[in-house]
Amino acid sequence: MKIFITSIFILISLALTAQSTRRIVKQMDSKDFEKGKELALSVLEDAPEDPSANFCMAWMTFEQENFFEAYKHMILFKTNINSLEQGDKEELMAYMESVMTKMRKKSFEERIDKKSFDIEQAAINYVREKRDPEIARQYIELFPTSPFLDNTKHIRNHYAYIQAVNSGTVEAMRKFKQDYPDAAQQEVAEERIHELEFEAAKSSKSIDRIETFIQSYPLAKQRTEAIQLRNQLAYNEAKKNNDLTAIEKFIRDYPNAIQAAEAQQLKQKLVFEKAKSINTIEAYSDFVKQYPFGKYYVDIFNLKSKALGTRIAENSQIKNAKTTRAFDYNKTNDLFSTATIDKNGNIFIAGIIELDTAPLHDVWLMKLDPTGQMLWSKQFGSPANDHINELFIQDDGSLLGVGIYGQTDTTRGQGWMLSVGTDGKKQWMKFLGDLYPVSSLQKGNEIIVGGYNMDSLHHMRLIKFDNEADKKWQRKYTTRGSANAVKPHSQGGIVICGKNWIAHISDEGYLENDQFIDENLTIMDVTEKEGVIYAAGYNEEFNLFVYNTQNKTVTQTTQQVKEIQFLPNTDLLVLDHNNNLTQLTSAGGYVKDIAKNTGHFYMLNNYLFYTSINSILQSNIQMITF
């Protein structure tokens, strides 16, 4: 009985379903889709998976261009197609035949596949055409099994990225990266963040803001530009107030900045101005130590030489000086060697400077203008000790120096001749064989060098060179010792002296006449006036003696001396063992005191050059103009 009642119920239900499908299709025939949807939804309310109602809803919503709704119902229809009743199938087939006129003779399944394909394509095309990530997101949520799911995700990501870009904010780009971690646009989104952050930092003109960008985004393409901009802003800020501390901080903080070189130049200028404002020897020395070369070196060197010269002159008790200058290379021991003056009044000074790296010294050569302002300063030498004894001006304005090269504690070095151009650059250097040069004289374009032979006998020797250091002639003399002075003779030829021997030599080096004095005396310097040769030196106790070839009388004093120089008027300058420089007559009579605390000296015209002893900055080269 129960089976009979159930069967009756099923038949009635099928009849009602078929009737419902017929009614819905009827509305579809009449294009009354709203009424048709109302009927279909009524069926689906009780039977959500009803294939016939879902098919009709898919068809009608598709016609109304509600593609997502159509696709949803089509999926439900295809999922439940096996439960489609024959009567419903016939109703649906009849409808499709009436509207799908181009599919004559096509089966029900073929027509269903065609409609399903159209709906599916319409749904995905709708997503593509709308370019709205929200619509794409809805599609993904509604149709997780869609064959276009991956494509839709790409679409969603793409247009979400476009929206974020169009918003023009870092926050939007970060939200995109957070919301769509699998998006192919992750890298370009990060690059866009870099662009936005950099533009914001750049617009702010804030060093801190740009520094934050550099630190936060080390891989950003804009990092190099950001660093350059930061450096430029920092440099502009540092130099705005012309402040040394700020410039030093910039150099310390940004050592690789392209502005570093300019900053160093500005620092040098500020250090220079600071030294000038302090106006002390110490300040000038500190500047020279920092900047031994460069734009302000000459200016600071001249300021320092004037200040140092004044203080040393006071210490040396110099009187009646017009100008005083003292020259310090780098707060080390600087010793005077020789000097000369060209036809324009420019002064050339040769000395030696003590090297920092070893107890050795190099040649220091300076050119000064007639007022004593340094024009250039050069250093020459070997890895050992070197010095120049004599300087000579050539016709073209270049210099020839004669001295010793490569001397050490165990070797005497060798004689050399150094050629230096008007710009202070070395032109050439040549060695003088086995001659140890002590004193030299220039006659025309030739240099006569006196000294001794570097052998066990140490005989006096005289060699004439041309101004390219090529030997013209050489003479050896039987007298042992050094040719301590080589001077011109007014009647032609030269005067040389050494040990206790005085000689008048022809221009070709041959002996004209000579005299020997007491063998216990050593002649250090000679001069000639009106045929009379004056000589001065010291005895074994270093007491001064004077002599002239006219009266042939040796006059000795109790004054102990280290150095002697004849002046043009035959007066003597003598340096005693207490480092006092005194002027005497040619007979040894006192004339006047010249200077105290004096080392090696040389008087040339109205210039006195000497090494200051126990100077403010160790030993220095002093130049006094009387």
Largest Cα span, the chain: 178
Q: What is the 3-state secondary structure (H, E, C) of 236-285?
A: HHHHHCCCHHHHHHHHHHCCCCCCHHHHHHHHHHHHHHHHHHHCCHHHHH
| DSSP classification of residue 552 | -
pLDDT at 220: 95
Q: Which residues contact 492 (CB under 8 A, 6 or more apart)?
A: 506, 507
Can you state the angle between helices 260-278 and 223-240, rounded to 10 degrees? 10
> Band of the pLDDT at 221, cuts 50, 70, 90?
very high
pLDDT at 290: 81
**What are the pLDDT digits (tens) for 346-382?**
999 999 988 776 678 899 999 999 999 999 999 998 8
Residues 134-178: tens digit of each pLDDT: 999 999 999 999 999 999 999 999 999 999 999 999 999 999 999
Tokens of 550: 């006219």
Rounded Cα distance between 50 and 40, Å, is: 9
What pLDDT score was predicted for residue 213? 96
- For the purposes of burial, counting CB atoms within 10 Å of the CB of 454, is it exposed (0-12), middle (13-18) or buried (19 or more)? middle
425 close to 398: Cβ distance less than 8 angstroms: no
Note the pLDDT of residue 524: 95
Looking from the CA of 552 toward its CB, the CA atoms found within 13 Å total 5
CA 20 – CA 624 distance, rounded (Å): 131
- Stretch 399-421: mean pLDDT, rounded? 92
- Buried b / exposed e over 406-418, threshold 16 CB at 10 Å, is bbeeeeebbbbbb
CA distance 211 to 218: 11
Per-residue tokens: 4: 């009979």
So what's the pLDDT on residue 10?
Answer: 41
- CA 552 to centroid of chain Cα atoms: 69
Q: What does the pLDDT average to over 476-480?
A: 86
Tell me if 501 sits within 8 A of 514, measured CB to CB.
yes
Cβ-based neighbours of 587, under 8 Å, separated by 6 or more: 546, 555
**Are 522 and 500 within 8 A, CB to CB?**
yes
Report the distance separating Cα 340 and Cα 367, nearest Å.
10
Q: How far is CA 385 from CA 276, 426, 544, in A?
A: 35, 18, 31
Is the pLDDT at 460 greater than 50, yes or no? yes
> Residue 4 has what pLDDT?
43
Give the pLDDT score at 6. Answer: 44
610-616 long-range contacts (CB < 8 A, ≥24 apart) are 610/336, 610/581, 611/334, 611/335, 611/336, 611/351, 612/312, 612/315, 612/316, 612/326, 613/579, 615/312, 615/315, 615/326, 616/281, 616/308, 616/311, 616/312, 616/315
Q: What's the pLDDT tens digit per position in 483-534? A: 999 999 999 999 999 999 999 999 998 999 999 999 999 999 999 999 999 9
Task: Check residue 347 and give its pLDDT.
Answer: 97
Q: Are 523 and 536 contacting, i.e. CB atoms less than 8 angstroms apart?
A: yes
Total residue count of the chain as it appears in this document: 626
How far apart (Å, rounded) are the C-alpha atoms in residues 55 and 77? 6
Is the whole model's pTM more than 0.85, yes or no? no
- The amino acid that residue 350 corresponds to is A
Q: Which of 323, 315, 339 is nearest to 625 (CA)?
A: 323
Q: What is the mean pLDDT of the chain?
A: 91
What percentage of residues in the chain have a pLDDT greater than 90?
Answer: 75
pLDDT range class, residue 5, cuts 50, 70, 90: very low
Higher pLDDT, 412 or 579: 579
**What is the C-alpha separation between 272 and 380, in angstroms, rounded?**
27
- 516 beta partners: 501
pLDDT of amino acid 14: 43
Q: Is 564 exposed, middle or buried (0-12, 13-18, 19+ CB in 10 A)?
A: buried
Segment 420-456, tens digit of pLDDT: 999 999 999 999 988 999 999 999 999 999 999 888 7
Contact partners, residue 545, CB within 8 Å, separation at least 6: 521, 536, 537, 538, 539, 554, 555, 556, 557, 588
Digit-coded pLDDT (tens) for 582-613: 999 999 899 999 999 899 999 999 999 999 88
> What digits encode the pLDDT tens for the residues 258-279?
999 999 989 989 988 988 888 8
Q: What is the pLDDT of residues 15-63, one digit of tens each?
A: 445 688 999 999 999 999 999 999 999 999 999 999 999 999 999 999 9
Name the percent of the chain in helix, strand, coil, to the closest 5: 40, 30, 30
Structure tokens at 560: 């102990």
User: Hey, which residues does 515 pair with through a beta bridge?
Assistant: 502
Which one, of 580, 487, 600, 595, lies nearest residue 535 by Cα? 487
Write out the E strands in 425-510: 426-431, 435-443, 446-453, 459-466, 471-480, 485-488, 494-498, 501-505
The separation between the first and the last C-alpha atoms of the chain, rounded to the nearest angstrom, is 153
CB within 8 A of 77, min separation 6: which ones? 51, 54, 55, 58
pLDDT at 616: 67
pLDDT of residue 336: 95
**Residue 354: which residues within 8 A CB-CB, separation 6 or more?**
332, 333, 334, 360, 361
Asked if pLDDT for residue 117 goes beyond 80, the answer is yes
203 pLDDT above the threshold of 80: yes
pLDDT band at 332 (very low <50, low <70, confident <90, very high): confident
Q: What burial class does residue 16 get, using C-beta atoms within 10 Å of its C-beta: 0-12 exposed, 13-18 middle, 19+ buried?
A: exposed
Domains and CATH numbers, the chain: 2-130 (1.25.40), 185-274 (no CATH)
The more confidently predicted of residues 423 and 615 is 423
Top-confidence residue, 455 or 562: 562
- By three-state DSSP, how is residue 122 classified? helix
pLDDT reported for residue 381: 87
Closest CA to 364 of 415, 418, 411, 310: 418
